[in-house]
Structure 1
Amino acid sequence: MKILNNDIDVDVIGFGALNVDKLHTVGSIAGKDEESFIKSQTDTPGGSAANTIIGLSRLGKKTSIIGKIGEDSDGDLIELNLAMNEVYTNNLIYSDNGNTGKVMGFVDDEGDRALYVDPGVNDEIKMGEINLMNINTCKIMHYTSFVGDSFKTQIELLEKLNDDIKLSFDPGMLYVEKGLNELAPILERTDILLINETELRLLYEDYYKAIDNVEEVSLKEIAVHVLDDGIETVVVKQGSKGVYAVNNDGEECFVEAFKSDVVDTTGAGDSFNSGFLFGMLNDYSLEKACIIGNWVASKSIQDYGMNAFPSLNQLEEFMDE
């Protein structure tokens, strides 16, 4: 194991919640007034940004993460997991009070899930706790969601980022539900939008219907509108169907998902992000980056957490086929 705390130029820095996913396998996910049973339970370090950053590290990229943990066993587990995956921990923030964030997850036999979030100290990140010298040499800053006030710190940080840093943004439903007006500062700085179809439509569909004065607007039309509003690349994740992507260089593609034996879909989108951003860092075409993203996601969902996430050697073998 390498403990990586030195100041160093990295490829990607994540900025998002750090959680321990307490995953419970269940016979079925209970609805209102229903009961189910727990078959097993495991604690797995997680968080959307952390999943993507760890995935990129396993693919050979230098990564770090801005996040906050408590002085507790869950915080120790997160720090150890980052170090074991060779993620630089020099941007971690330690809280003397409060608990590390956790997510109670319930995963059924089909790989579907229900999640309940306890954010803990994740939502206490202040601008003064972030070391700008550490972060302003990265190539990509990758934003994901927080439950509470750390969202405001993400917005504050935008003004401090060097202009040549690309901002990658996966808002997730927590941020999409904030609406366009509240997300505007981040979206205006975003270069790469990584979003699923449901989130894209919820965030933009009514807005562009009103602009175009139409009753329906297609996925492609929404994505093109988003490009026109200044985002360079729009990637729409469509689950088992695949992914649609378009950029302002005139590239457009739809890439089907790879068939896979599904065990746990938790973090599938984060795993896709790892593969896609790997492609962007290597200046691959939009389509090739999407293929890599889909392949990485197809591997990651074959086990719980990040257990099945592929290595760089496995990716290279796939690309040589």
Structure 2
Amino acid sequence: MSSDIDVVTVGHALVDIRILVENFPGIDQESKVLEQSWGSGGSAVNVAIGVRRLGLKSSILAKIGFDSFGRIIVDDLLKEGVDISGLRISLGQTGFTIVAINKKGEITMYGYKGAAETLGPYDLSEYAISRAKWIHIASLRLDTTIEALRIAEKYGLKSSWDPGRVLASQGLEKMKPVVSRVNVVFLNHKEATMLTGIEDYKQAAKEIASTGPETVVVKRGEKGVYIYSRELEDEIPAYRVEKVIDTTGAGDAFASGFITGLLKGYSLRKALQYGNAVAALKISSLGSHGVPTHDEVVRFIWERGGI
């Protein structure tokens, strides 16, 4: 079957409510909200929109409620040009995340997954997956993840997996049915330690790679990323920005850039640097969808000496 979609994402679709506050109040205290932003979020949404803005065609498999928050998600995805034929509607409520950010850039989050975490294996559209070249699975329950990979393997898709803390906390042995079958694993340092029980992120990445994936990328925030793969082992530094506004979703922005880079035919190193540039531009603005366009990324990299 021909691929008319570049990337299909599978995972959570939520509404993100972001507020910039003067400070985090104590019990029975109040803090002034300086700025606020509402919009769709969740890793599946973020990456689907991210790769779309970078010039690829994307679709999403996720579950939302038949409510006003669900409408926000649908409207955002349609506005960005993401294929929503694989979106499922639940009788439950659409999930949401409240993100409070103080003047220091510190973050406090409150999350309600709602309908998002009820996406089961039976909800997955084989047709939607078969149309794509790449599948990105993020923060998704284990049984649904395994089924998504089964379908992806059937049609020869490349795959990436970002487990999130919940699945990472279950350990590498339990996650082997997933880790051993994906091409790329994305984790932050804490998740790598949770998954393997190894504090050193380099050793943790090597332990993960020993179970099968071609590439393991450890996201290290302002320090950049570490990659361990069959082709390359290196630290790729982050780009510096004048002012950090909102770091939530930076990992999804990086993943969007890295996947896009690979599908554009970039080398691993160039794709990593491209991903870092996407993340740098994302953290310079408030909201889930601060992901730039391809031209903006190229200009940003060029102004800093190129790749």
Compute the TM-score of the two structures, normalised by the length of structure 2: 0.90
SS at match of 1:14: strand
**2:66 maps to which residue?**
71
SS at match of 2:72: helix
Tell me how far 1:43 sits from its aligned partner: 1.6
Residues 161 and 182 of structure 2 are in contact (CA less than 8 Å); yes or no, is this contact kept in structure 1?
A: yes
1:160 paired to 2:154? no
Tell me how far 1:117 sits from its aligned partner: 1.3
**1:3 maps to which residue?**
none
In 1, the alpha carbon distance for the partners of 2:56 and 2:80 equals: 11
**2:130 maps to which residue?**
136
1:49-88 correspondence to structure 2 within 5 Å: 49-88=44-83
SS at match of 2:180: helix
Q: What residue identity is the alignment partner of 2:249? A: G
Q: What residue identity is the alignment partner of 2:14? A: N
In 2, the alpha carbon distance for the partners of 1:114 and 1:224 equals: 32
**2:204 maps to which residue?**
222
**1:199 maps to which residue?**
191
Cα RMSD, aligned residues only? 2.1
SS at match of 2:132: coil
Sequence identity of aligned pairs in percent?
34
Q: Which runs of 5+ in 1 are unaligned?
A: 1-6, 207-216
In 2, the alpha carbon distance for the partners of 1:151 and 1:226 equals: 17
2:218 aligned to which of 236, 243, 248 = 236
Compute the TM-score of the two structures, normalised by the length of structure 1: 0.86
**2:102 maps to which residue?**
108
1:267-286 correspondence to structure 2 within 5 Å: 267-286=249-268
Residues 24 and 38 of structure 1 are in contact (CA less than 8 Å); yes or no, is this contact kept in structure 2?
A: no
In 2, the alpha carbon distance for the partners of 1:308 and 1:126 equals: 30
SS at match of 1:22: strand
In 1, the alpha carbon distance for the partners of 2:148 and 2:237 equals: 36
Q: What residue identity is the alignment partner of 1:53? A: A
More strand by share: 2
Residues 193 and 231 of structure 1 are in contact (CA less than 8 Å); yes or no, is this contact kept in structure 2?
A: yes
In 2, the alpha carbon distance for the partners of 1:113 and 1:177 equals: 22
**1:187 maps to which residue?**
179
In 2, the alpha carbon distance for the partners of 1:34 and 1:300 equals: 34
1:5-44 correspondence to structure 2 within 5 Å: 9-29=4-24, 35=29, 37-39=31-33, 40-44=35-39
Q: 1:56 to 1:92 in 2, by over 3 A?
A: same
Q: 1:43 to 1:285 in 2, by over 3 A?
A: same
Tell me how far 1:36 sits from its aligned partner: 5.2
In 1, the alpha carbon distance for the partners of 2:207 and 2:28 equals: 43
**2:283 maps to which residue?**
301
Q: What residue identity is the alignment partner of 1:11? A: D
In 2, the alpha carbon distance for the partners of 1:270 and 1:237 equals: 10
Q: 1:162 to 1:91 in 2, by over 3 A?
A: same
Residues 39 and 76 of structure 2 are in contact (CA less than 8 Å); yes or no, is this contact kept in structure 1?
A: no
- CA-to-partner distance for each residue in 1:117-140, whole Å, 9 max, x for gaps? 111111222333322022123121
In 2, the alpha carbon distance for the partners of 1:160 and 1:229 equals: 21
- CA-to-partner distance for each residue in 1:75-118, whole Å, 9 max, x for gaps? 111011001111111111112x1211111211111222121111
Equivalent pairs, count: 299
2:169 aligned to which of 173, 177, 199 = 177
Q: What residue identity is the alignment partner of 1:226? A: I
**1:119 maps to which residue?**
113
2:234 aligned to which of 245, 253, 258 = 253
Residues 37 and 287 of structure 2 are in contact (CA less than 8 Å); yes or no, is this contact kept in structure 1?
A: no
1:47 aligned to which of 42, 50, 58 = 42
Q: What residue identity is the alignment partner of 2:22? A: G
